[in-house]
Amino acid sequence: MQSGLVTQRINLDNELTVYENLDIHGRLFHMPRKERTKKIDELLDYIEMRDCKKSPIKYLSGGMRRRVVTARAMMHRPKILFLDEPTVGLDPNIRRKIWSLIKKIQQGGTTIFLTTHYIEEAEFLADRVAFLNEGKIVKIDTPQSFMDKIGKWALDDMVNDNIETIYFTNRDEANNHIGSRKGSFTLRRVNLEDAFVSLIGKKVKDK
């Protein structure tokens, strides 16, 4: 079974155009010419960059390059796609575009292994999440199960410039806790980052 790989560093040929980069990948994976041409057009539509077909990579923005490198990994129709930190260093708008692209690929039936330091990215994109510590998987579950384990609501309490977060199963409990106490509180829904900090954070050594 063939897999596709998108490394953290964008490894495109800067001197070559978007089309040429995709074409060479297709050649390296022994795709016939007709199939290559068809797939390139399909992928350029997919990443909404048909207008940039003949643009040299060196003139593209970071987000566009990231989309091209992801499309390139899809050229040979892999069943599994490995994405290593696909949105690192990108601004929030571009990050969301990349997320949409990843969702689209996922909905197309490709299994995606994605590594990320952005936990909200894992929460948004992943069906299953594995938390790693010192190179080893320490917990593996669905994002929802992770969050359910700690509660539904999180109350951030500012204490001496530190945030202390307390988790509650319902909103009323959280409101009762606040009661007549003075201070700065933020009540919000629990997210995957809370689950990570609560379940794993204690094990992560502060280096």
Partner 1 sequence: MIRGWFAVYYRELLILRRKFFRQAASMSVAPLLYLVAFGLGMGRNVTIDGHSYMEFLVPGLVAMTSMIQAFAIGVEINVARFYWHIFDEFQSAPIPNLAYVLGEALAGITRALLSSTIILIISGLFGIVLSYNVFFWSIIILNSFVFASVAVCSAMLVRSHGDQALLANFIITPMAFLGGTFFSVENLPFWTQKLLNLLPLTHASHAIRDASYGRMPDIFPYLLLSGIGIIFFIAGIYCVSKAKN
**Residues within the interface to partner 1 (CB under 8 A):** 2, 5, 7, 9, 11-16, 20, 24-25, 27-30, 56
Q: Kindly state the smallest distance separating residue 41's Cβ from partner 1, in Å.
A: 19
Beta strands in 53-110 (DSSP E): 80-84
Structure tokens at 130: 């594995």
Structure tokens at 43: 């992928």
Residue 68 or 122 with smaller CB distance to partner 1: 68
Q: Return all residues near 128 (Cβ < 8 A) that are at least 6 apart.
A: 140, 141, 142
Residue 30 or 182 with smaller CB distance to partner 1: 30
Question: CA–CA separation, 5 vs 78, rounded Å?
Answer: 9
Residue 77's SS3 state is coil
Residue 59 or 128 with smaller CB distance to partner 1: 59
Residue 83 or 190 with smaller CB distance to partner 1: 83
